[in-house]
Structure 1
Amino acid sequence: MQISEEHLSNNWKRFTLTNDRGMSVSALNFGGIITEVLVPDKNGVIENVVLGYERAEDYKDDPNFFGAIIGRIAGRIDGSNFSLKGKEYPLEANDGANHIHGGSNGFHTKVWKAHSFQTDSTVGVAFKYDSPDLEEGYPGNLYVTVTYQLNNRNQLTIDYQAHSDLDTPVALTNHTYFNLSGNLKRTIHNHLVSMNSSTYAELNEDLIPTGNRNTVTGTPFDFRKMRPLQEGICSEYKQNLLAKSGYDHYFLFDQKQEDAVVVQDLESGRIMRIHTDQPGMVMYTSNNLTNDHQLTGRQSAKYLGVCFETQGTPASLHHSGFPSIVLKANDPYSQQTSFSFETM
């Protein structure tokens, strides 16, 4: 296993973690952005399975949040405000009347302190950022560490650690777009997905949770048995149509299990297994991705990637029935998600 560091402009660095089986993960200290993940297909051909820009500078003002750490809160906050302990906290309205992904100067725009390391079984890089009180409107000084580690089982593990000196909502995630076809050869229509979820958060026309937890039974949202993403993308089901024909919804996991989500691409033979201790995730099928970005290997296109944003949901700030994302002062925030790659 090995680690390499490349110095870019603007004090940016690119770290590349490589294991003994040829898998590698590259990430920037800017936004903690994962720019490339190279894994083998069923014939041993090693290819990239995530979306990233051809030019590093294009990450600076990225409307798609490719590969980035999202915080303090991932997702949309209704009306760009929330109440905590009787006090109202206004936030930037950067998605119509609503707030999304921590604001326009959220964690995805920060140059994080970073250091690489190696253990007996992993290579990794730790990113640290101290978010001051009321940054982007959020209360409390929040001290965050996000660690990426790669082992020889072709498993990438992301650990999120944080603490605050005041009560504050926190819902961190990573916004990597996956495409298991390899080098973005095909869209994700034929990706097969299964997940341990029997309910999801219903959305309104602004993609804000209504507060209802809908059952997946009898709908294109039932992934308890493996099904292709195209069934929702091509569906006339109202919730799919609201999301611009696809998915941009929070799925609540029924219980913790070894593989919360399994993704397969039959043609390449790649399988990705996601394990997490988060209560759910947003699955987003890049419904808003336009065709005017130069990515590594090709031009961007709608449905070229799928995000699995394991996280708590900001719906809990306005609605009961969802796990709280409020972090108590001086309590530890500790969450983990791993992505394991294998072939059929």
Structure 2
Amino acid sequence: MDRTMIGVTALALSAAACTIPAHAADAQQKSAGKLPDGRDVAVITLTAHNGVSARILAYGATLQSLFAPDRNGHPADVLLGYDGLASYVDHPNYFGATIGRYANRIADGTFTLDGHSYHLPQNDHGQSLHGGGHGFDKVLWQVAKVQSGPVASVVLRHVSADGDAGYPGTLTATVTYSLDEHGDLGITFDASSDKPTVVNMTNHAFFNMAGEGSADGALNELLTIPASAYTPVDSHLIPTGEMRGVAGTVFDFRKPHPIATGVRDGHDPQIVIGRGYDHNFALDKGATPVPGLAARLTDPVSGRTLDVLTTEPGVQFYTGNFLDGTLVGKQGHVYRMGDGVALEPQKFPDAPNRSAFLSARVDPGKPYHHAMIFRLSVR
């Protein structure tokens, strides 16, 4: 049964619709090596009975690999990244990492909350990107819990001090990776603060459903994004505040079509500004209490299909435009633009400075929660 054809707005609905015998999923913890300061870094492998497996590094709470079978049962790692811990430390590029405190960009590295201005590191041409250069992707997370069972999981925990990277409030954050017997990889982000603050967490996996390092990259894969509008950006990739309709543009992915058809279309100024796609899509579903469909990516040759589900209102679609052949990834593969694509569920970029966007504010007693799912299947 192709579970992507079943309603994707809730895990409970898909579980009820599929009659599949229960099988245990396995979780195993080992050491991935040590950081330069001598601290040991755990790596946890989650394995389901159907051939899906995920490898999670405690450094950056990073999804290092995700293996999925094709229509003939042959597994392949569908994530860009590195083979060893040292490269994640020495050559960071957000591959599979947990992003926080604030994913995406905040204009001029500044926002105001309750009359107080907060100034963040400006690590992206005067903007603050993905936490300001030393965000959650560059810290060693504590392994709080590892368990096997019908759902194999690992819980990772990090405490970000008041004033860390300029953000107010001591923030206690957890990331839970969970792999069920069907091969659904859930990622849940939770955070609480002792002061008003802003939070926007996501995972920054780069996908190639043909398999990492495939000769043709990911641009010929079929993408669907159920969004009637996106947020165009200025020359610094900051949203202008406009909600622009996708109809009649290269941003219309409401029906599946190859990424390659629009990624180099210089007739659209937004593609020129982004050097390809690097834009937030306003999902038609909006923010939801249970994860709903944000994107679907299919490799027509292997049949491997990824559904990205989220409770958040937006998804950033990024075609790896700044991958320029200078990074050597898994198995010695040199990564170039389009070798993988990111689909990052999130609040909208620069929401702390845009009152029309859904607020990213988190208050004491009102914790942050974001649930997302990477659902793998074959078509």
Number of the residue aligned with 1:284: 318
Contact 2:190 2:367 in 1 (8 A): yes
Matches within 5 A, 1:1-150: 1-7=25-31, 8-10=33-35, 11-118=40-147, 120-150=149-179
Number of the residue aligned with 2:365: 330
Number of the residue aligned with 2:296: 262
Q: Is 1:195 matched up with 2:225? A: yes
Contact 2:294 2:315 in 1 (8 A): no
Q: Distance in 2 between matches of 1:155 and 1:130?
A: 28
How far off is 1:208 after superposition?
1.1
Q: Distance in 2 between matches of 1:226 and 1:300?
A: 25
How far off is 1:119 after superposition?
5.4
How far off is 1:329 after superposition?
2.0
Number of the residue aligned with 1:312: 347
TM-score (norm 2): 0.88
Q: Is 1:218 matched up with 2:248? A: yes
Structure 2 portions without partners, runs of 5+: 1-24
Q: Distance in 1 between matches of 2:61 and 2:145?
A: 13
Of 53-62 and 87-96, the range deviating more from structure 2:
53-62
SS of equivalent to 2:154: strand
Q: Distance in 2 between matches of 1:102 and 1:152?
A: 34
Change (3 A) 1:258 1:166: closer
Q: Distance in 1 between matches of 2:294 and 2:113?
A: 31
Q: Distance in 1 between matches of 2:149 and 2:43?
A: 23
The root-mean-square deviation of aligned C-alpha atoms, in Å, is 1.3
Q: 2:335 aligns with which of 300, 306, 309?
A: 300
Amino acid at match of 1:161: D
Q: Is 1:240 matched up with 2:265? A: no
How far off is 1:61 after superposition?
3.7
How far off is 1:223 after superposition?
0.9
Q: Distance in 2 between matches of 1:202 and 1:190?
A: 24
Q: Percent identity?
A: 34
Contact 1:211 1:320 in 2 (8 A): no
Structure 1's consecutive aligned runs of 4 or more residues displaced over 3 angstroms after TM superposition are none
How far off is 1:116 after superposition?
4.2
Q: Distance in 2 between matches of 1:313 and 1:100?
A: 13
Number of the residue aligned with 1:343: 378
How far off is 1:63 after superposition?
4.2
Amino acid at match of 1:325: A
Of 32-41 and 315-324, the range deviating more from structure 2:
315-324
How far off is 1:301 after superposition?
1.4
SS of equivalent to 1:210: coil
TM-score (norm 1): 0.96
Number of the residue aligned with 1:207: 237
How far off is 1:258 after superposition?
4.2
Contact 2:294 2:345 in 1 (8 A): no
Of 116-125 and 39-48, the range deviating more from structure 2:
116-125
How far off is 1:252 after superposition?
0.8
Q: Distance in 1 between matches of 2:272 and 2:84?
A: 33
Of 115-124 and 192-201, the range deviating more from structure 2:
115-124
How far off is 1:143 after superposition?
0.6
Q: Distance in 1 between matches of 2:200 and 2:90?
A: 22
Q: Distance in 1 between matches of 2:223 and 2:297?
A: 5
Change (3 A) 1:258 1:329: closer
Number of the residue aligned with 1:180: 209
Number of the residue aligned with 2:14: none
Of 27-36 and 230-239, the range deviating more from structure 2:
230-239
Q: Is 1:166 matched up with 2:191? A: no
C-alpha deviations, 1:104-132, integer Å up to 9, x for none?
A: 21101110001443354211111100111
Of 116-125 and 143-152, the range deviating more from structure 2:
116-125
C-alpha deviations, 1:36-75, integer Å up to 9, x for none?
A: 1111011110110000113320101444211100000001
SS of equivalent to 1:105: coil
C-alpha deviations, 1:196-234, integer Å up to 9, x for none?
A: 111111111111111111111110111111111112212
Q: Distance in 2 between matches of 1:103 and 1:225?
A: 35
Structure 1 portions without partners, runs of 5+: none
